[in-house]
Amino acid sequence: MRTDWTQEDFLNSGRVTIEQHILNDMSNICADRDPKKMRVLEVGCGAGRLTKALAEVFGEVHGVDVSGGMIDAARTFQKAQSNALVYQNNGMDLTVLPDLRFDFAFSYLVFQHIPSSEIIESYLSEVSRRLLPGSLFKCQVNGCLGKPRRLSWLSARNTWFGVALSEEQVVDMAERSGFEARHMIGAGTQEFWLWLFKRPN
């Protein structure tokens, strides 16, 4: 993890990530909608690196993170950006959010640290409940099957090495959560990307 970057470096790195994973995929994300009229959910917003960049593209962005310290940092970045809001959640669900529906949801470098497939599935169900039918949840999980985690969730409270998921597991979890897993790339790697579309109610 870098410790020498400036605030501008930090925020610019978020813009690069959004260019790589959002701006080159706008046909899937937006369909025929104007991004400036879309409400976006970011799961695992951290210190707001991507939240700020997302808010430069979309009309409204809501981010959640389990870390109070990260949320405090994110709020510092969002002070001058009225279309971005962040919330500290409980690490299990999205009950902290206001009663809103979203046009798109995104998560990057988050689920790969969660050591429980049940918690990941809980998040999928929660995101599905919040998304409008037909909308996309684009997320990345750990697909490195057979590689043991160095530390356990309880013994060291270190979640760097989360549970690994197979293609079959992802499809089953998506189906149970109300999604259609239309596309997947990177199975078997740390960058296992999923395109999950909310099925009609």
| Res 188: pLDDT | 94
Stronger pLDDT, 149 or 101, i.e. the higher one:
101
Q: What is the pLDDT of residues 94-147, one digit of tens each?
A: 999 999 999 999 999 999 999 999 999 999 999 999 999 999 999 999 999 865
| Res 94: pLDDT | 96
- Whether 150 has a pLDDT exceeding 90, the answer reads no
Instruction: Indicate the pairing of strand 192-198 with strand 131-141.
Output: antiparallel
- Whether 153 has a pLDDT exceeding 70, the answer reads no
| Res 156: pLDDT | 42
| Res 157: pLDDT | 46
CA 63 to CA 46: how far, in whole Å? 8
- Whether 197 has a pLDDT exceeding 60, the answer reads yes
Name the CATH superfamily housing domain 7-17+34-100: Vaccinia Virus protein VP39 (3.40.50.150)
| Res 51: pLDDT | 95
Cα distances (angstroms) measured from residue 180 to each of 22, 149, 162: 19, 29, 24
CB 79 within 8 A of CB 137: no
Q: How many CB atoms lie within 10 A of CB 49?
A: 23
